[in-house]
Structure 1
Amino acid sequence: MGYSTDFYGFWTLTPALSLAQTDYLQKFSRTRRVKRDPNLIKTDRRLTGIGLSLGVDAEYFVDVEDEDESIVDINLPPGSQPSLWCKWRTNDRAIAWSILGEKNSMDMSNGSII
């Protein structure tokens, strides 16, 4: 016996996100969340633009290169993040569950950064 969970709709963001916040969250949701050594990261212009720190294990880092010496474990999510991918998508006015993610593994914690 199996089950399926479908999510429809979105949350409206009030006030709307700034351009820098929208840019950051879109990049966050498109980059693999991997455990990193924050001491090996020089800067993240998107983070500084919205006043965030790197977080535990550089969990909020998004200024990703293909080869990156800061990666400690490419298969382990950083800090408090529950998975390697954020399954939420956003624009400046709303946030929604990505239809590209696994439907049965919804975790609200990746949406709590807003």
Structure 2
Amino acid sequence: MKFNSLMHVGIICKDWDNMVDFYENKLGFKKKVEVKYKEYKDRMDRPEQAKKAETMPDGVMYAYFEIAPGQFIEMYPNEDNLLEDVAWHTRTGLFHFSLTVDDIQETYDEFVKKHTNLVLGSYSTE
């Protein structure tokens, strides 16, 4: 498998306004996409987001900030009051990351062939 680059990392932020200010005004990253919950209204495949679309349609679900062409930080506001982060040496895991490839179907098929013991979720072609 050949990966071209890291497309994005996802961050859940404590203070949306301060984070947006930091990434846009301090670092100079451009907000390329901002998705609001109303875009998920009546989406039965996304019940949590559809529920929020009813109660907070103009609430921001996430936004993409471009670092360099094709590389982004995907940022989510913490409206669910998730727990604060812990000291670096007491946590495990990563929210997620995304890679770019030339052909998603070919890469997926190759991965499945090599790792037949894994249960895989969906993948995005966008």
TM-score between both structures, scaled by the size of structure 2: 0.30
| Structure of greater Rg | 2
Q: Which has the higher strand share?
A: 2
